[in-house]
Chain A
Amino acid sequence: MDSMISLTIDNREVEVKRGASVLEAAQSVGVYIPTLCYHPSLEPFGACRLCVVEIEKMRGFPTSCTTPVAEGMVVHTDTPQLQQLRRSILELILTEHPQTCLTCPKNLNCELQRVAQYIGLNEISLPQLYKELPVKEDNPFFYRDYNLCILCGRCVRVCQEIRGVGAVAFTYRGSQALIGTAFDLPLLQAGCQFCGACIDVCPTGALIERSRRGWQALPERSVLTTCPYCGVGCQLRLEIKKGRIIGVTPELEAVVNQGQACVKGRFGIAEPIHHPDRLTTPLVRRNGKLEEATWEEAISQVAQRFTEIKERYGPDSLGAFSSSRCTNEENYLVQKLARTCFGTNNVDNCARI
């Protein structure tokens, strides 16, 4: 059986793998269909209804995220009728979403804004509802402001499908529906492991790291690097503003972690690195006390003392401990230092510890 399927999307010939959804087929050739509940890491959900399309010889307006491709399908993603439908749906979402974009940390980085721009809404004809929910500050890492929640369910699904935890779920029904924990317990007691996956998939500002409030919301630049904690090797994006790390986002494209991180990688990096306790100048012990010294003074004392010991007691009286927390290049140089300058094989790292 041929595993590739051919179809037409907006008059373009598209070939995709059998089993792909119409939405994925469209995305594969760069055709934009607005969505809010779809996320590439998650199972299709079909909740937001924004990704509706017209498919010839098919009744109604199927959601493209839940419709699998079929041979010879002819799909239209941008007809006046579809746009009208999407405008109505968006209008309903926006009547419950506060229009406080200018003070929202997600401003300019918000999926709801992007979708609204694409659909283009002139006015909201329905009355505005404000849920008046208190912002939940029941955990040390992020805020939960469910006034901004559009009930796309991504946080619930990532916690269940990807993390296997299920700390949050839909609670209550109908217009009262909300995301919450069992018995409305604080996250600290609800089994949350604070991996932060829910923050990444949230399309709005409902879930926001504490570190991203106010002016720190948008970074100047980001640097892709490897997590300094365990040996899984998660790829993380460090977001930088004015020389400081203001946020950490795991890389979706990385084969190792595929957009995931743990509490240490996500919330445990910026603080220690910018901590006032960080040593920034060399210290030399004088009269029993460690006191600040210049690099020149410290390095020359190190070299002099090691050379004296080596001359007096022989090279095997010296040793070096390298570190599994250091880079390959640093480890290579430490063992080279021990074997060349010290003249000993007394070199080890903390792998045994």
Chain B
Amino acid sequence: MADPRKTELADVADIWLNLWPGSNVALLNGMMQAIIKEGLENKAFIAQRTENFDELNKADYPPEMVSKITRVPAEKIVEAALLYARAAKAMIIYGLGITHHTTGTDGVMSLGNLALLTGNIGRRSTGVMPMRGQSNVQGACDMGALPNMYLGYQPISDSEVRTKFEKAWGLSLPQKPGLTSCEMIETMQQGKIKGLYILGEDPCQTDPDTDKVRRSLESLDFLVVQELFLTETTNYADVVLPAASFAECNGTFTSGERRIQRVRKAIAPLCGKENWQTICLIAQAMGYPMSYSNPAEIMDEISSLAPIFGGVSFKRLEGNGLQWPCPTPGHPGTEIMYTEKFSRPNGLAKFNQVDHKPSAEQPDDRYPLILTTGRRREHYDSGSMTRRCQGILQVWPEEKIEISPMDAQELDIIDGEEVVVRSRRGKVKVKVRVTDKSPRGVAFMAFHYQDALTNLLTNPALDPIAKTPEYKVCAICVEKIPQEAKEVVRK
């Protein structure tokens, strides 16, 4: 288990690699070097199923050097590497601790390298699996809610694909790739985006650098937000459309293991409309004939337009659903990917050697601590749902910044004391939890509460390829509130 924080998993792990935030790539390179040095790489797999191994082989990451970057003892890195390499089957499960970095794509590629190096892919109980934080992260991407891809990862740049969609949808389609959500927010203040429709998202709470997000949304001519509740973002909306919850809609979610499963309507929509009906109404009012009699019909259109969903229909999703790719109506779905070939033209996986790069923002004298952000098990993202559960609020009533006992001592702060946390972008007033879960120099906050908007602090620097912000590393300082100030407030 690799994590800068001593999470509950650290307690059950055989080895806990307590690496420094932002050193994932260095750690993985170090592990691979250790495996190669011991001759534990899977030579047959590398020869038959991969290419470009030489590039990886040439990389120079001796454990001592990796230990300096990651602050993990060299022996522990070697021990973990050998444990992974010697296992008959080993799986890599990763979360946003890998992707929420300006080197997020590099981190994922390194994980791929590690799996390829040991042949731990394409068999049951092996592979590289991202944990999906939301019910339909997989599906939202699968469905082409992406600026450069249509449904089923068919690129918009492919003219043949585009022609297919133009024929199906009955009009000519834009060729220019679009902007990602963070890029849209980035360009709003330059006047490039004037009108925005947001369905079920709260960027004012969940996107990095909240102040910038607010200014950006303010600069829009027209903002429509469709939501279950009023949120930080609806403050900036010109029109708020009520949304139906998952219990009020028919449809499907796709889990992290590519399993398409049914969402079934349990109660009538409180607002009178299922969300697909609302979207159709907007399209119709804009003059486009978008009309279906039910979500099963929408799925039929989806399966007719994407080869990987060719065999998917609501009828076939009873029971345990279907794992895509499922190209034909008789196909059982695909439990394990890449059993014989990888999805490159020559069928081989390619090693991509990547090098360690430091995080975009480093601590300095003014902002000496690193803030890394994440979630609490009991809460869910913006908290709009879980903050409305009395029981969950009793377990986690409020946000607290978690700092190590050493830092607390140096800052003369005690557990439960209220402090001001400042970064180059903003400040948040929050109570302190002193805990050895946080290593010295690293603080932690979640972003579930409206009265402690953690993302006022976070750095909006993006990964150059995936455009994912660096939520896991920003420089902060924790300031003690002077006693006099507190008394003034009290008076």
B179 and A334 form a contact (CB under 8 A): no
What mask results when residues 252 to 294 of chain B are scored 1 for a CB within 8 Å of chain A, else 0?
1111110111111111101111011011111101111010000
Q: Return the chain B residue nearest A350 by Cβ.
A: B201
11 contacts between A and B (CB under 8 A): A228-B246, A233-B257, A271-B388, A322-B143, A327-B249, A328-B299, A337-B279, A344-B178, A346-B184, A346-B193, A353-B203
Q: For the complex, what is the distance from the CA of A319 to the CA of B156, rounded to whole Å?
A: 16
Known: A335-B145, A343-B174. A305 touches B238 (CB 8 A): yes
Known: A278-B228, A309-B221. A328 touches B184 (CB 8 A): no
Q: For the complex, what is the distance from the CA of A328 to the CA of B234, rounded to whole Å?
A: 24
Answer yes or no: B242 CB below 8 A from chain A CBs: yes
Answer yes or no: B349 CB below 8 A from chain A CBs: no
Answer yes or no: A98 CB below 8 A from chain B CBs: no
Q: Which of B238, B240, B378, B469 sits near A263, CB closer than 8 Å?
A: B378
B8 to chain A, nearest CB (A): 9
B239 and A307 form a contact (CB under 8 A): no
Answer yes or no: A188 CB below 8 A from chain B CBs: yes
Answer yes or no: A318 CB below 8 A from chain B CBs: yes
Answer yes or no: A32 CB below 8 A from chain B CBs: no
> Count of chain A residues with Cβ under 8 Å from any Cβ of B?
101
Answer yes or no: B67 CB below 8 A from chain A CBs: no
What mask results when residues 12 to 26 of chain A are scored 1 for a CB within 8 Å of chain B, else 0?
000000000000000
Which A101-156 residues have C-beta < 8 A from chain B?
Answer: 139-141
Known: A140-B394, A331-B136. A352 touches B468 (CB 8 A): yes
Answer yes or no: A95 CB below 8 A from chain B CBs: no
Q: Return the chain A residue nearest B240 by Cβ.
A: A283
Answer yes or no: A29 CB below 8 A from chain B CBs: no
- List chain B positions with a Cβ less than 8 A from chain A: 12, 131-148, 150-151, 156, 165, 169, 171, 173-174, 176-182, 184, 192-201, 203, 206-207, 221-222, 224, 227-230, 234, 237-243, 245-249, 251-257, 259-268, 270-273, 275-276, 278-283, 285-288, 290, 295, 298-299, 301-302, 320-321, 377-380, 384-386, 388-392, 394-395, 466-469
B298 and A332 form a contact (CB under 8 A): yes
A225 to chain B, nearest CB (A): 5
B145 and A300 form a contact (CB under 8 A): no
What mask results when residues 217 to 254 of chain A are scored 1 for a CB within 8 Å of chain B, else 0?
00000011111111111010010100111000000001
B210 to chain A, nearest CB (A): 13
Q: For the complex, what is the distance from the CA of A306 to the CA of B198, rounded to whole Å?
A: 13
Given A228-B385, A307-B286, A317-B195, 20 extra CB contacts under 8 A: A139-B391, A141-B391, A264-B380, A267-B392, A272-B245, A272-B386, A282-B240, A324-B140, A326-B200, A327-B136, A327-B263, A332-B151, A332-B302, A337-B288, A337-B290, A345-B148, A345-B178, A346-B193, A347-B147, A350-B181
A120 to chain B, nearest CB (A): 38
Known: A267-B389, A346-B179. A193 touches B377 (CB 8 A): yes
B395 and A194 form a contact (CB under 8 A): yes
A229 and B283 form a contact (CB under 8 A): no
| B251 cross-chain contacts in A, Cβ below 8 A | 327-330
B313 to chain A, nearest CB (A): 12
| A343 cross-chain contacts in B, Cβ below 8 A | 173-174
Q: For the complex, what is the distance from the CA of A317 to the CA of B176, rounded to whole Å?
A: 13
Known: A231-B134, A331-B139. A347 touches B145 (CB 8 A): yes
Q: Return the chain B residue nearest A142 by Cβ.
A: B391
Q: Which of A228, A271, A282 sits near B242, CB closer than 8 Å?
A: A282
| B253 cross-chain contacts in A, Cβ below 8 A | 226, 228, 233, 327-328
Q: Which of A139, A210, A302, A327 sits near B282, CB closer than 8 Å?
A: A302
| B227 cross-chain contacts in A, Cβ below 8 A | 279
| A309 cross-chain contacts in B, Cβ below 8 A | 194-195, 221-222
Answer yes or no: A27 CB below 8 A from chain B CBs: no
Q: Which of B176, B184, B239, B264 sits near A298, CB closer than 8 Å?
A: B239
Answer yes or no: A301 CB below 8 A from chain B CBs: yes
Q: For the complex, what is the distance from the CA of A1 to the CA of B62, rounded to whole Å?
A: 50
Q: Which of B165, B241, B245, B288 sits near A282, CB closer than 8 Å?
A: B241
Q: Which of A245, A315, A330 sits near B279, CB closer than 8 Å?
A: A330
- List chain A positions with a Cβ less than 8 A from chain B: 139-141, 164, 188, 193-194, 210, 223-233, 235, 238, 240, 243-245, 254-256, 262-264, 267-269, 271-273, 275, 277-285, 290, 293, 295, 298-307, 309-310, 313, 315-341, 343-353
B245 and A273 form a contact (CB under 8 A): yes
B237 and A279 form a contact (CB under 8 A): no
B94 to chain A, nearest CB (A): 13
Known: A282-B242, A327-B251, A345-B156. A268 touches B392 (CB 8 A): yes
B139 and A327 form a contact (CB under 8 A): yes
A217 to chain B, nearest CB (A): 18
Q: Which of A281, A295, A298, A325 sits near B135, CB closer than 8 Å?
A: A325
B14 to chain A, nearest CB (A): 14
Q: For the complex, what is the distance from the CA of A273 to the CA of B137, rounded to whole Å?
A: 21
Q: Return the chain B residue nearest A165 by Cβ.
A: B8
A281 and B271 form a contact (CB under 8 A): yes
| A281 cross-chain contacts in B, Cβ below 8 A | 242, 271
| A223 cross-chain contacts in B, Cβ below 8 A | 247, 264-266
Q: For the complex, what is the distance from the CA of A256 to the CA of B266, rounded to whole Å?
A: 21
B295 to chain A, nearest CB (A): 4
Q: Return the chain B residue nearest A300 by Cβ.
A: B285
Q: Which of A140, A227, A254, A272 sits near B320, CB closer than 8 Å?
A: A254
A74 to chain B, nearest CB (A): 37
A211 to chain B, nearest CB (A): 10
A279 and B192 form a contact (CB under 8 A): no
Q: For the complex, what is the distance from the CA of A328 to the CA of B228, rounded to whole Å?
A: 18
| A331 cross-chain contacts in B, Cβ below 8 A | 136, 139-140, 143-145
| B282 cross-chain contacts in A, Cβ below 8 A | 299, 302-303, 306, 337, 341
B181 and A262 form a contact (CB under 8 A): no
B468 and A350 form a contact (CB under 8 A): no
Q: Which of B286, B386, B466 sits near A303, CB closer than 8 Å?
A: B286
A181 to chain B, nearest CB (A): 16
Q: For the complex, what is the distance from the CA of A255 to the CA of B257, rounded to whole Å?
A: 12
A40 to chain B, nearest CB (A): 17
Q: Which of B132, B143, B221, B229 sits near A279, CB closer than 8 Å?
A: B229
Q: Return the chain B residue nearest A351 by Cβ.
A: B137
| A341 cross-chain contacts in B, Cβ below 8 A | 282-283, 286-288, 290
A230 and B133 form a contact (CB under 8 A): yes
| B182 cross-chain contacts in A, Cβ below 8 A | 352
Q: For the complex, what is the distance from the CA of A175 to the CA of B11, rounded to whole Å?
A: 35
